Structure 1
Amino acid sequence: MIIKILVVDDSASDRLIIKNMLSEYCILTACDGVEAMQALEEHDGINLLILVLNMPNMNGFQVLESLKKNERFSKLRTIILTNNDELDNEIKGLKLGAVDYIRKPIQFESLKARIDVHVALLRAKQELEQNLDEQAFNFDMIFEQSLIGIAISLGIEPEHSSDTIVKINSMFEQITGRTKEELIKLGWAKITHPDDLEEDLVNFRKLQAGEIKSYTMEKRFIKPKGSIVWVYMIVAALAPPGKIGFEHICFIKDISDRKQIENELRYINEHNRLTGLYNRDYLEARLKNDTKQKKRSKRALIGINLSTVQLLTANFGFLYTQDLIKQAAEALSRYCTDNRLLFQTAENRFLFYLADYKDKKELDDFSKTIEYGLESLFAAERMGGGIGILEIDENQDKFDLDLLMRRLLIASEKSINMSEGGNFKACFYDEELESLINRERDIMEALFAIVADDDSNDELFLQYQPILNLKKGSICCFEVLARLKTQKLGLVSPVEFIPIAEKTKCIIQIGDKVIAGAFYFLNKLKEHGYVTISVSINVSVFQLLRPDFTSRLFEMITAMQVNPENICIEITESAFISDYEIINHIIDKLKDYGLRIAIDDFGTGYSSLAREKELKVDYLKVDKYFIDKLLDTDPDKAITSDIISMAHKLGHCAIAEGVEHKCQLQYLKEHGCDNIQGYFISKPLNEDDAFEFLEGFCCGY
């Protein structure tokens, strides 16, 4: 049976990628609904339709409505492509006749698995239809040799019954880890994971009642020894002529490997790397979901500000203060309940999200519990911190996380000012604290002054962190890092001023100053005889997408007479999610001019590996999360080596960030990592210190 698939997507790159992924099938493409309807009219035998809903000219909903009116397309199976926030569109598409949906950005292993299952269903149905006259299922070859698990049941209940007749292929047995006899005896409900059973049963009852013809879901089966296997499943009703009663067919494909990767990436995206607590992104998702569901229960945020911990860094070192943060996370975790979730929203800040509390007194009492626990923990350090409390308006239909976090920060900063020595004291947010928002305004004013070159005591300066080439044992590059010092606030963290610079669009001018400073440093390197050492410059996506970015950059390179081959541009992995084609085009121009490109924070952006392969970059910077994991994970089980290997297979060099221990260095050497940077080599250095470091550098790492 030749399987014809029509892919309808207004993105030419997505159409091409899907076509390549499904090359074993006959693939037709269309750029909008009008072309799709023309293709369906002109080509007979199209089996599957992969359809984007939001398109120009004629959208996906209009296509579905047209198909529903035409009997000719009654057997056409449609899979819709949606975005993560389009639940209403998914429901509407399914009601209009779609049988499945896939969310963008597309995970292509998931796409391939789903298409394979739908194709298996089509082939099995065709085989069944061809043999209905003989009242038998004569498709043993396709049934037994299929890479998809298949089970056919003529019973009506998910539990075993004596009159149930089933046909199960060997792949179904292999995936579930049970023999045909065990499966018949137990029934599918007993081997389904309890968390998935309710959804499965609801869908199954709808199938029995004739409300739906089929359903799909990702679910878990429990194997005999208690292990879990994730499957993508399609269940469809069978109604051969002359038969009375309910019959159905079930297809499953093992997706455990893909689920493990998804769960690891989701964990990285939703948790803090140091402590494993939920992060700000997950807090935003939780608040958004609760607000959308219009939960009117009392909700509040309690923020713990430990910014004073960093004062200990100068005396005891970075690792010492990191360990204190870990201890604080463990201590606070003891107070978590179902209605009291703990988050780490910044390096030195924790937050409790409380729901269904009684009154303000309960918040005050809980804050005192936190105060006592933290004071005990930090007693030896003779240092305190701040605790801010913010009640969320029960009647608001929308929320602004930035505003909530800013108000909570204001309350916790006020708390720090109220505390003495090693004390913690909670402070409720109120309107009087609004004046503390001036902090952000002070930073904005400092940035504006720096951009305008006004005479002020506010300063933007650069530091340089060495990058070591492991194969040569020599320093090959310095990463250029921007720092801000203001007259009013002193040193301001990049985590604080960079988002403000981006929000105010100052990042454009700030970025130009950073690039100019980096080129000045590069020329000084050349003057000192270090002609092979490069500089690596972080570029914001706001800079990168500026229409004249490349032309201005090339003008600066010419004007300052630097070698473009000694320049590397770092772009965060997350930047490629929304503007992939534009950024890839910019990368082409930079590469053609001689510059090198690195993807920063690789492994945390949840990007498509298929697209990663198309990027013409030189380096993948392995995120510090994976390097830290080497300290508490069996080296043989760590996936860091797989990321390095993957980078090499994609044609890129691998740079490990955040190397702080000798055991990490040894592991990276053994697994072929190209370059490393981190405190084990050197902290970020001022210009003079950087040259002093080079003069005294020893190749004994």
Structure 2
Amino acid sequence: MDKMKGIPTSSSQTKAGQRNVQVIQLLIHSFSARGSKKEFLDKVVDLIQQESGCNFVGIRVLNEAGYIPYHSYVGFSHEFWEAENQIQIFKEDCSCTRIVSGNLLPFDKPVINSAGSLCCNDILIFAESLSEDEQKKYRGACIQAGYRSLAIIPVYHQEEILGIIHMADLKPDQLNTTVIELVESIAPLVGEVLQRDKVEQSLKASKNNAAILEKIVGGISSLAYVVDLDTYELIHVSPALRELCAAKFGCKCYEIFGMSAPCCDCFHLRPSQGIERQVPWERYVSIHDRYYLAEQKTIQWPDGRSMHVAFVTDITQQRKAEQELLESNADLEKMVVDLQQLSATLEEEIMERQAAQEELSQKAEEIRRMAYYDMLTGLPNRTYLIECLEDEMVKARQGHAAGAVLFVDLDDIKIVNDTFGHTYGDALIVMAGNRIVQEAGQGALVGRIGGDEFMIILPGQNEQESIARIANKIIGVFCHDIHVLGIGFHMSASAGIARYPDDGDKAEEIFKNADNAMYAAKRDGKNCWRFYEAVMQAEAYNRIHLINNLRYSIERDEFSLHYQPLVSVVEGSIIGFEALLRWNSPAYGPISPAVFIPIAEQSGLIQMIGQWVLQEACRFIKQLSEQGWSHIHVAVNVSPHQLCADNFIQIVREVLDNAGVEPCQLELEITENALIESLEDSIDKLDELQAMGIRLSLDDFGTGYSSLTYLQRLPVNTLKIDKAFIDRILVGGAQKAIIGTIVEMAHVMGMKVVAEGVETFQQLDYLKQCHCDFIQGYLISRPIPETEAFAFIASQSPMRP
């Protein structure tokens, strides 16, 4: 056994090996003196294949990246060659066991000799020893290629690895000591050739670099130098810089190359480990009234080295010219700055104006919407409708089709507002507007005038039948309940119709006439529509004149109170009076309360008139007390508008205090309808009035929304049966029974009963039978002036039987 343990040898093999080595060495020495590296290595692998008999021989050569790829090879299969080239072998991997297996355990085989060569005559024995590294699949592919014998011989030069020689064969036991020693003898010669080629390539690169430097530095008139970044040696200086250093600073070339020249410090050209590493850079230097620009850049040589190239340029004339230019252009620069500032100011002002204009446009649009559209429903408002109607009337006068206007008013919306609140009322108005829009049809313009009033313009609709159909549809939309927040409301509407241009020359006149027609519909019972007629205009004018006269009637002392007595049915004595308002107008003469009271309520004058009535009635009560008739009370009618007023309680209290009258001498008569409009609020106010000691009576009982449920809640002292029931007493039957039932019910609830409009003794007799408490009517007395009332009290006598 030789120094390669496990490989068999013999004396004959040794002699043959020595002879072959001598022949091969002579051939290699002879060949290495000439030819290229490629030719030499190809020859080597051929000789090794011939001498060893191995199928495969290859040489890997270290490249500049530190990787050892194949350079020359012979005899291997395509699969083996492809897998081997995928294995990246670096010079630090050249422990042969790491090359083959990555983690080889110490088996008896393979063998590594003292020279570092690896030999194995049965490669299958360490197929299982491959590590789980990232190149395992390539190593496995090499083994699967079928090679059984393997040898790897490193190629050194002065202990630096430059490559490896790789041998393999498909048969086992193909390798022996003679073959390995032969290849190990060739390896140093291969290393010498590779090192010589490396030196030649470096010299060639240096010559190329020198030529490049000469082109860059030697052929320019500027001051320049070159520094090797690896060694920080100054390796080249331009002729101009050498001349400058010799003339200005007295330094020689060797001093420059030794980096001791003063010029290097002056120009900050001395390479160091500091800022000069940060390239490219430039700086300006002033020396002896001269100005220089020092610039430094980095160049990359073909061999991978980096070098600094610095240029120093005399820019004295340039700097002087620049200074003169700066001085001569100072005013211009100031002007430019001023213009820039002015431009910036103008730009800012323009932007502010644009922003302001946009804001104005938005506000203008908002104002326009506020001016032309209803904020609650989003529908056009009166202003917009007037303008549109004016345009349509112009078209109609020019021969286009005429049209019509519908004025729609929702009935009893105030009851909803007072009972449930404006949230419900507003929601009803919005939903009612939506229904009207849906039914008005295409081409119609629907708008909200205000409150519960809507206006519909129907361009091109002037046929009475077609207009009537549309009006019926709009009135009909309220046949179905409108549900708001879980509550269903049964609504109705009244509508007035005016046609243009027949019913007016201007839009306002058309609107007014449609409004008059709507009021006519309300007078006819509501929930219907009426076309405008000329007589409606006269009625409207009369109504306006009445309102104007009503406004000043108190100042002109045109009002007076008449008093109708209330008498006890049992005793026949007078127990009180009902104050009834009369108006004697100088322009119209006596006007019926049935005419002017509704007008006063609709115009809002009822508040002023009602307060005057309270004051006059309390003055009369005061006079009764002064004459000894303090037991007689006076009843005053209160309208729904008065009762709904927030300050009604305060007004009553002040009137009583000012007149010096006891509250029990005043009785307030409230109609059923007045209570229904705002039931909860009305009950609260009635409770407060009763707590003050004021008498309360429910007037016209049976003609309104009579309900035992709310009647039980009302704090009233007296029920007044309407004259309509009294007139039917003589009819008999059910009519008489109703009166008896009302009286009995009132007594059960602790109330007194007054029968209104009693005119005959037959009526009186029946009322006595029913145990009615008090009567009022022409049987006792008509309403009489204040002076006659005092005389009536003084002269009263018991009623006839």
Q: Give TM-score scaled by structure 2 length.
A: 0.35
Higher relative contact order (CA 8 A, sep 6+): 1
TM-score relative to the length of structure 1: 0.40
